[in-house]
Structure 1
Amino acid sequence: MEVPLLVDPHTVEVKASGGVSTHQIHNTTQKRFAIKIKSSNIKDYILKPVYTFLEPGKQEPLVVTRKEGPAGKDKLVIEFLEAPATEKDAQAFWKGKKSMGEVIVPVICT
């Protein structure tokens, strides 16, 4: 079974005092995906991007910024859905749609 998305590194490691963790999301398929990234803790984390398109065989950066706050058990969820090349607004494309899959990225905060 083909794994559509890979995240490198697969785990976010940040300090409770704050910091930045940079990752690459790889599309391992020949399909274009709309991506939506969610956090279990929106108070302490800023994600860039939240919505994007990922072209076949390409990769996109994901920057996770941690604000100062208490350490906790958190995760990121990267949802994906096949998207036609004619779509230009990833956030609008997601309205009313459900993902076809997801990748869970653990967050280790110390």
Structure 2
Amino acid sequence: MSLTVEPASCTIPANGGSSNLKILNSGTDKLIFKIKSSNNKDYRIQPVFGNVDPSESKEVTVIRLSGLPKEDKIVIHFDTAPVDASDASTAFATVTTAGTFTIPMSAT
């Protein structure tokens, strides 16, 4: 199982804006993911749940609402998708997280 995230950090203006992350699956199994934020007041993540087929990628949008500058992070939990999984949010409840990525976020 091999999942990477690009870029490794995210900087967005404190007065609001957005940035895109790319979740890449370079493995041979379909993966599911769930994204958590340390600051749900100022950030919106789309999508929160998703899947990534082997040798494919998924784009994630991070939206920053206007607020005070500060350091935050998002954490991406992932695991191999169950064979019969059609909905990532439902499937994620049935698996044990195999790995995580932490992406530092900076609002300047």
* TM-score, length-scaled by structure 1: 0.91
Q: CA deviation digits over 1:8-38, x for unaligned, max 9?
A: 1221110110000012110111111111011
Gaps of 5+ in 1: none
2:35 match = 37
Q: What RMSD over aligned residues (CA atoms) do the two structures have, in Å?
A: 1.3
2:82–2:91 contact (8 Å) kept in structure 1 = no
1:53 match = 51
1:1-110 to structure 2, matched below 5 A, reads 4-110=2-108
2:4–2:23 contact (8 Å) kept in structure 1 = yes
Structure 1 residue 71: Cα displacement: 1.5
User: Residue 99 of structure 1 aligns to a residue in which SS?
Assistant: coil
Gaps of 5+ in 2: none
- Between Structure 1 and Structure 2, how many residues are aligned? 108
* TM-score, length-scaled by structure 2: 0.93
What stretches of structure 1 move > 3 A for 4+ residues in a row? none
